[in-house]
């Protein structure tokens, strides 16, 4: 299996027999199921763009392991330039899909593991790094899609994994065997899971003594025995089945097609295990994955925001308000917010540094700042989009009403905006705005790559408050 | 009869371009006609390099550094006349 084109990608997904449930029913062919196809199309863009001369500079890279040209989504960052290109790539793909294209989570997982397994071996004499390199070479060669599986269901948040009344609420090793381990538990909100090939499970948080069974990193094919996927419900998702104007963005997803991935005593051979019991490396692994993932958001959400801004401007143009000064001012504010989040991603990349493994890592404080801004700015961008678009975003008639022989003429007549723009065109833009600015799409901006509180904890840790107090004392000439 | 000049084409990645880079290149290619043989930067022996970049940041200029021979024509917007771009590409190497 070597995946280059969209066709290769879809064919490879078809070959895997993955157990997926949607709305209580088992899905036989994930590649043709209407709820999954938009997510497949989004991820497929990462393959398609890599083959285009005008985009290959961002979508491909030279492997530090083999020297071959590979998908950037399987690359280990070798420089600050690589970190910046990652962000630029994410903005570009978002322009093509107006949605999440899912491959960054696996990308961030391999980079976090590259650095961390190297340091684990250095300190503990383990063999995880060399084992991981073999896996990475296979990933780069075959270019399959990997889910970065971090978030556990977590049960009672006030208790540690080993203190839970149900020990499976955090993914764990239930048995160690001569040939591998047996895994039980689940990973929640798994972006791209239904259209991926494998999942890399990682600990969800720093583990303490007693939690050793939960310090597990392993690569698991999604068609492995015991793996079940349950697709998450999304706002207005049934509109994707109609594939008309009401879907807003019919071809691509709204978010990343998140699913609950359940592991019911899944066997994983040792060559696919990259951490097993090393609790002292769980914290740094989680922090690195989180930082690498938070780095992304000004890229992808900046790109998605560009589409929202464009759609807002078109909505205003179609109803004759584009030249109103307050509309122009709101569009300017949206541009400011979008470029602010993008700046954060570029900044944390530009201040990235080399780790012991040779891989480059973004500045963690600035990466956290970037993601924290996303939890606010995307809501504000969406609020402004609703302001510009008007109440019609919430009350627009159905696509079928427009096409009805009885009432279509009324929709055509009364939903019309300016001369020269059809009612259908206006409806398309309003539905796109609705699709991108409400419900699931907004919540994803809030909680994807960690909830706001997780970033505020990082501010406390990395914000150098004591140094700031010293600086203030110096300026105020305080000696005590 | 003069041989066609081998010119390498390199696009930036196109993260947020200010114009249609591919359309702009097509205009250049059309004007150049048979006078230029277009190759990629991976192919050896090109005599000039055309960089088509989407904005003033011009990332490939930073990463490519220099080429072995011939002029580098760097495009950052679509203000320039494509005909002038062709003339610059076909100009003999200045001593």
A67 in contact with B, Cβ within 8 Å: no
List of chain B residues whose C-beta atoms are within 8 Å of the C-beta of residue A91: 15-16
Least CB–CB distance from A54: residue in B16, B21, B40: B21
Task: Name the minimum distance, in Å, from the CA of B78 to any CA of chain A.
Answer: 15
Structure tokens at A364: 């963690």
Tens place of pLDDT for every residue, chain A, 480 residues? 599 999 999 999 999 999 999 999 999 999 999 999 999 999 999 999 999 999 999 999 999 999 999 999 999 999 999 999 999 999 999 999 999 999 999 999 999 999 999 999 999 999 999 999 999 999 999 999 999 999 999 999 999 999 999 999 999 999 999 999 999 999 999 999 999 999 999 999 999 999 999 999 999 999 999 999 999 999 998 998 988 999 999 999 989 999 999 999 999 999 999 999 999 999 999 999 999 999 999 999 999 999 999 999 999 999 999 999 999 999 999 999 999 999 999 999 999 999 999 999 999 999 999 999 999 999 999 999 999 999 999 999 999 999 999 999 999 999 999 999 999 999 999 999 999 999 999 999 999 999 999 999 999 999 999 999 999 999 999 998
Alpha-carbon distance B16 to nearest alpha carbon in chain A (angstroms) = 7
Q: Give the minimum alpha-carbon distance from B91 to chain A in angstroms, rounded to a whole number.
A: 25
Q: Best mutation site among B10, B15, B52 for testing chain A: the one with the most A CBs within 10 Å? A: B15
What are the strands of the beta sheet with A273-276, ordered from one edge? A146-149, A198-201, A216-221, A273-276
Tokens of A261: 């991935």
Distance CA B81, CA A230 (A): 56
The structure tokens listed for B50 are 């055309």
Nearest neighbour of B11 by CB, restricted to A53, A89, A95: A53
Residues of chain A found within 8 Å of residue B22, distances taken between Cβ atoms: 54
Active site positions of A, annotated:
100, 104, 191, 258, 293, 297, 300, 444
How many angstroms separate the CA of residue A89 from the nearest CA in chain B?
A: 6
Nearest-CA distance from B25 to chain A in Å?
10
Q: Which of B15, B52, B62 sits opposite A88 (nearest CB)?
A: B15
> All domains of chain B, ordered by start, with CATH?
5-94 (3.40.50)
Task: Check residue A243 and give left, alpha or beta (phi > 0: left; psi -120 to 50: alpha).
Answer: left
Put simply, whether A35 touches B (Cβ < 8 Å) is: no
Query: From the DSSP assignment, how many helices (H) and strands (E) are in chain A?
Result: 17, 14
| pLDDT value of residue A478 | 96
Confirm or reject contact between A56 and chain B (CB < 8 A): yes
The more confidently predicted of residues B3 and A412 is A412
| Cβ–Cβ gap B13/A92 under 8 Å | yes
Tokens describing residue A152: 């556990």
The answer to whether residue B13 neighbours chain A at the CB level (below 8 Å) is yes
How far is A276 from A283, CA to CA, in rounded Å? 14
How many A-B residue pairs are in contact by the CB < 8 A criterion?
43
Q: Do A306 and B16 touch (CB under 8 A)?
A: yes
Is B15's CB within 8 Å of A81's CB?
A: no
Residues of B in contact with A341 (CB under 8 A): none
> How confident is the model at residue A291, as a pLDDT?
97
What pLDDT is attached to residue B92? Answer: 61
| A480 at B interface, C-beta within 8 A | no
Query: Whole-prediction pTM value?
Result: 0.94
**DSSP-based three-state secondary structure for B41:** coil
Ramachandran angles phi, psi of B36, nearest 5°: -125, 135
Nearest CA in chain A to B14: A55
Chain A CA closest to residue B8: A53
Q: How many CB atoms lie within 10 A of CB A41?
A: 21
Query: CB-based contact (8 Å) between B95 and chain A?
Result: no
- Does B23 contact A at CB distance below 8 Å? no
Residues of B in contact with A56 (CB under 8 A): 11, 13
Q: Rounded to an integer, what distance in angstroms lies between the CA atom of residue A307 and that of residue A311? A: 6
CA angle A72-A78-A80, nearest 5°?
Answer: 95
Q: For A319-422, where are the alpha helices, taking DSSP H only?
A: 325-350, 364-389, 392-395, 399-403, 408-414
A residues 306-335 lying closer than 8 A (beta carbon) to B: 306
Helix (H) / strand (E) element for A198: namely strand A198-201
Closest-approach residue (CA) in chain B for A69: B42
Residue A220 DSSP one-character state: E
SS3 content of chain A, % helix, strand, coil (to 5): 55, 15, 30
Closest residue by Cα to residue A316 from A378, A376, A393, A401: A393
Rounded to an integer, what distance in angstroms lies between the CA atom of residue A121 and that of residue A115? Answer: 10
The structure tokens 């269901």 sit at A153
Closest residue to A92, CB basis, from B14, B60, B62 = B14
Question: Mind listing the pLDDT tens digit for each residue in B27-85?
Answer: 999 999 999 999 999 898 899 999 999 999 999 987 776 555 568 899 999 999 999 99
């Amino acid at each position: 299996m070597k995946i280059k084109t969209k066709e290769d990608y879809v064919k490879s997904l078809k070959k895997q027999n993955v157990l997926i449930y949607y709305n209580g029913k088992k899905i036989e062919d994930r590649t043709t199921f209407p709820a999954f196809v938009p997510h497949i199309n989004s991820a497929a863009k990462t393959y398609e763009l890599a083959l285009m001369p005008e985009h290959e500079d961002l979508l491909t890279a030279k492997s530090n392991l083999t020297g071959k040209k590979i998908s950037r989504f399987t690359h280990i960052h070798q420089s600050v330039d690589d970190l910046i290109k990652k962000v630029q790539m994410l903005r570009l793909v978002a322009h093509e899909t107006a949605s999440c294209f899912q491959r960054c989570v696996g990308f961030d997982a391999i980079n976090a593991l590259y650095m961390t397994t190297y340091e684990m071996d250095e300190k503990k004499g383990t063999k995880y790094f060399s084992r991981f390199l073999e896996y990475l070479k296979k990933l780069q060669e075959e270019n399959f899609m990997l889910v970065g599986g971090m978030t556990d269901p977590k049960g009672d948040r006030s208790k540690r994994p080993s203190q839970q009344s149900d020990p499976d609420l955090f993914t764990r090793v239930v048995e160690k065997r001569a040939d591998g381990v047996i895994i039980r538990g689940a990973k929640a909100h798994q972006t791209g899971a239904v259209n991926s090939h494998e999942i890399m499970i990682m600990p969800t948080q720093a583990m303490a003594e007693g939690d050793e069974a939960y310090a597990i990193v392993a690569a698991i094919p999604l068609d492995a025995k015991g793996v079940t996927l349950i697709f998450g419900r999304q706002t207005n998702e049934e509109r994707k089945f109609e594939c008309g104007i009401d879907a807003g963005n019919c071809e691509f997803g709204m978010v990343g097609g998140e699913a609950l991935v359940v592991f019911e005593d899944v066997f994983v051979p040792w060559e696919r295990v990259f951490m097993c019991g090393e609790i002292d490396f769980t914290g740094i692994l989680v922090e690195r994955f989180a930082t690498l993932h938070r780095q992304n958001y000004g890229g992808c959400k900046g790109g998605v925001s560009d589409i929202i801004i464009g759609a807002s401007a078109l909505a205003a143009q179609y109803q004759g308000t584009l030249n109103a000064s307050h509309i122009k001012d709101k569009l300017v504010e949206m541009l400011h917010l979008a470029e602010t989040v993008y700046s954060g991603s570029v900044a944390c990349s530009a201040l990235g540094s080399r780790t012991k493994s040779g891989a480059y890592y973004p500045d963690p404080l600035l990466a956290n700042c970037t993601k924290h801004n996303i939890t606010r700015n995307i809501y504000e961008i969406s609020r402004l989009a609703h302001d510009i678009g008007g109440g019609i975003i919430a009350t627009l008639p159905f696509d079928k009403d427009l096409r009805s022989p009885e009432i279509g003429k009324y929709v055509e007549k009364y939903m019309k905006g300016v001369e020269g723009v059809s009612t259908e065109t206006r409806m398309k833009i309003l539905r796109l705005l609705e699709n991108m600015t409400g419900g699931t799409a907004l919540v994803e901006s809030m909680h994807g790559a960690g909830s706001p509180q997780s970033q505020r904890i990082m501010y406390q840790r990395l914000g150098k408050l004591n140094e700031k107090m010293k600086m203030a004392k110096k300026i105020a000439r305080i000696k005590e | 009869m003069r041989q066609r000049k081998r010119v390498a084409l390199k696009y930036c990645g196109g993260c947020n371009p200010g114009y249609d880079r591919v359309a702009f290149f097509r205009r250049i290619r059309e004007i150049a006609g048979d006078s230029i043989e277009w190759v990629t930067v991976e192919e050896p022996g090109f005599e000039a390099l055309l960089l088509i970049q989407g904005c003033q940041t011009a990332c490939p200029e930073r990463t490519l550094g220099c080429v072995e021979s011939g002029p580098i024509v760097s495009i950052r917007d679509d203000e320039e006349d494509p005909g002038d771009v062709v003339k610059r590409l076909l100009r003999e190497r200045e001593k």
